[in-house]
Amino acid sequence: MAKGNPIEEQNQLMANGSKADTVEQPEGFKKFLYNKEAGTVLGRTAKSWMQITVFYIIFYTLLAGFWVGCLAIFLNTLDPKVPRFYGKGTIIGVNPGLGYQPWIKENPDSTMIKFNIRDPESYSPFVKQMDSYLSKYENTNGTRKCDGTMSNKDAAKGDFEESCQFSLADFEKAGCSAKNGYGFKDGKPCVILSLNRLIGWEPTDYEGDSIPEQVRDRYKKGSIALHCDGTNNPDKEHIGKVTYIPSSGIDGKYYPYQVMDNYHQPIAMVKFDSLPRNQVVLVECRAFASNIVHDITSRLGLVHFEVYLQDKDPKDKTTA
């Protein structure tokens, strides 16, 4: 072997094991977890772990305090009874929509009121839904009787804390109560109509001769008149007689709406007195006040549903 050749000398030394033994081996994972010689755990000494723990306790405490402080400031700017944003220009808007009952929650996509006058089981779900919806009016705690000029405006002004109590007596007198199954067993179903709740909204009266012809003979100032008719011309011919309870519609003394304990939402009912047998009738109901706009696309101020009165043997399964 020629002297002075560094490559050959290196190979010879490694082969003999003299230099290879002096090469430092990398730390293993176990030694990283706990190094007995250095007294470290995961590469840190006890003092280092204590320092970093104290740092993060202080850091997250200050961070949590900052977050709670910001949240408290934000909550103090909110009114628990009024949404932060409502009215014109918001998603809530200023134009109320119209809803109806009975609407079966178990079949939310259906707007058809279908029943067989000779089969109590067919209209039992609708009667139960009406019972459930109207049961809240039995609780009169925190409400007051509003006679004469009294209304929810008094509560809005701060004169009272209780909302006006809503009575179901008119519906019972007209044959729309649980006693007669809300007219279903007689083939004269009663349907509840109500406006959705808009903070601060109240009906505006029509001026002069601007009252729509559909409700002109039943319109009462301060109230919301209702009118139901067939959606299409054939439906208009077959819808028959419709009775409005009360005739003037929804009484305006229950407005404006605001958040109050046990608020009684005002409603009205329509009773279909002469529906055709075994024929679907498409119904459109509209609410009328000077500040209610009707928009078919967004269903503002109106509602659509179908009524299908069957008159057949319950055992007959041939007819849908």
Q: How many folded domains does the chain comprise?
A: 2
Residue 5, in any domain of the structure? no
pLDDT in tens, 213-239: 999 999 999 899 999 999 999 999 999
Residue 263, in any domain of the structure? yes
Same domain, 133 and 248: yes
Rounded to whole angstroms, the Cα distance separating 281 from 270 reads 15
pLDDT in tens, 162-210: 889 999 999 999 999 999 999 999 999 999 999 988 888 889 999 888 9
Rounded to whole angstroms, the Cα distance separating 264 from 165 reads 6
Same domain, 285 and 149: yes
Same domain, 53 and 112: no
Same domain, 62 and 175: no
Least confident of 50-59, 86-95, 140-149, 292-301: 86-95
Same domain, 171 and 52: no
pLDDT in tens, 84-128: 766 676 666 778 889 999 999 888 889 999 999 999 999 999 999
Same domain, 65 and 210: no
Same domain, 108 and 177: yes
Same domain, 35 and 120: no
Residue 7, in any domain of the structure? no
Same domain, 152 and 246: yes
CATH number for the domain that contains residue 281: 2.60.40.1660
Residue 2, in any domain of the structure? no
Residue 246, in any domain of the structure? yes
Residue 306, in any domain of the structure? yes
Same domain, 73 and 103: no
Residue 318, in any domain of the structure? no
Same domain, 52 and 118: no
Same domain, 201 and 285: yes
Residue 187, in any domain of the structure? yes
pLDDT in tens, 55-92: 999 999 999 999 999 999 988 888 776 777 666 766 66
* Full domain range(s) for residue 153: 98-310
